Structure 1
Amino acid sequence: MRVDTIALGGGWPGPASPATDVFAPFREASPDRPFVVGQLGQSLDGRIATVSGESRGISGDSALVHLHRIRAHVDAVIVGAGTIIADDPRLSVRAVKGVSPARVVIDPSGRLDARGNWLAEDGARRILVTGASEPACAAAEIIRLERREGLIPPAAIVEALFARGLTRLLVEGGARTLAAFIEAGLLDRLHLLVAPMIIGSGRNGLELSPIGTLASALRPRVQTHLLDGGDVLFDCDFSCCRQRSC
Structure 2
Amino acid sequence: MSTLEIADTTIAGPEDALALAVAQALRGVRGANPLVGAIITAPDGRVLASGYHRGRGTAHAEVEALAGFNGFNESSSTSGFDPADSTLWITLEPCDHTGTTGPCTEAILASGIRTVRYAVADPTGPDGGGAARLRSAGLDVGQVDAEQARRAGAADLNPRWMLARDSGRPFVTAHLAQSLDGRVAAVDGTSQWITGPESRRHAQSVRSRVDAIIVGTGTVLTDDPRLTARDAAGRDLPRQPVPVVQGRRAVPAGAALRGGDSWLHVEDHDPQVVLDRLTAGDNAAGTTVSSAWPHGGTRPGHVLIEGGPTVLSAWMGAGLVDELFLYQAPLILGSGLAGLDLPQHTTLSHALHLTLDAAENGAISRLGDDVLLHYAAP
Q: Using structure 2 for the length normalisation, give the TM-score.
A: 0.49
| Number of residue pairs the alignment of both structures matches | 200
Q: Is 1:65–2:201 an aligned residue pair?
A: yes
SS in 1 for 2:29: helix
Specify which structure has the bigger relative contact order, considering alpha-carbon pairs within 8 angstroms and separated by 6 or more residues: 1
Distance 1:81 1:120, change over 3 A: same
Question: Out of 65, 72, 79, which is 2:215 matched to?
Answer: 79
- 1:72/1:154 Cα in 2 relative to 1: closer, same or farther (>3 Å)? same
- Aligned position for 1:100: 240
What pairs up with 1:1-246 in 2 under 5 angstroms? 21=27, 23-28=29-34, 29=161, 32-96=168-232, 99-110=239-250, 112-121=251-260, 123=261, 125-130=262-267, 151-164=268-281, 165-223=299-357, 224-238=363-377, 240=378
Asked if structure 2 preserves the Cα contact closer than 8 Å seen for 1:40 and 1:173, the reply is: no
Q: Which has the higher strand share?
A: 1
CA change 1:67–1:18 in 2 (3 A) is farther
Gaps of 5+ in 1: 1-16, 131-150, 241-246
Tell me how far apart the structure 2 counterparts of residues 205 and 162 of structure 1 sit (CA, whole Å).
28
Counterpart of 1:41, as a letter, is: A
Contact 1:83 1:173 (8 Å CA) reproduced: yes
Task: Point out the more displaced range, 206-215 or 55-64.
Answer: 206-215
Unaligned runs of 5+ in 2: 1-22, 35-160, 282-298, 358-362
Change (3 A) 1:22 1:214: farther
Cα deviations by residue, 1:112-159 (Å, 9 ceiling, x for unpaired): 3211211113x3x211112xxxxxxxxxxxxxxxxxxxx531101111
Cα shift readout 1:198-223 (whole Å, capped 9, x = no counterpart) = 11121111111243432221111114
Q: Give the CA RMSD over aligned residues.
A: 2.3
| Distance change >3 Å, CA 19–CA 114, structure 1 → 2 | farther
Determine if contact 1:62/1:227 at 8 Å carries over to the other structure.
no
Greater Cα offset, 188-197 or 91-100: 91-100
More off after superposition, 57-66 vs 212-221: 212-221
Give the C-alpha shift of residue 52 in structure 1: 1.1
Identity of aligned residues (%): 35
Native 8 Å contact 1:77 1:171 kept in 2: yes
Letter in 2 for 1:109: R
| Offset of residue 227 of structure 1 | 2.7
Q: Partners in 2 of 1:26 and 1:227 — Cα distance?
A: 26
Verify the 8 A CA contact 1:36 1:187 in the aligned structure 2. yes
Distance 2:239 2:26 in 1: 19
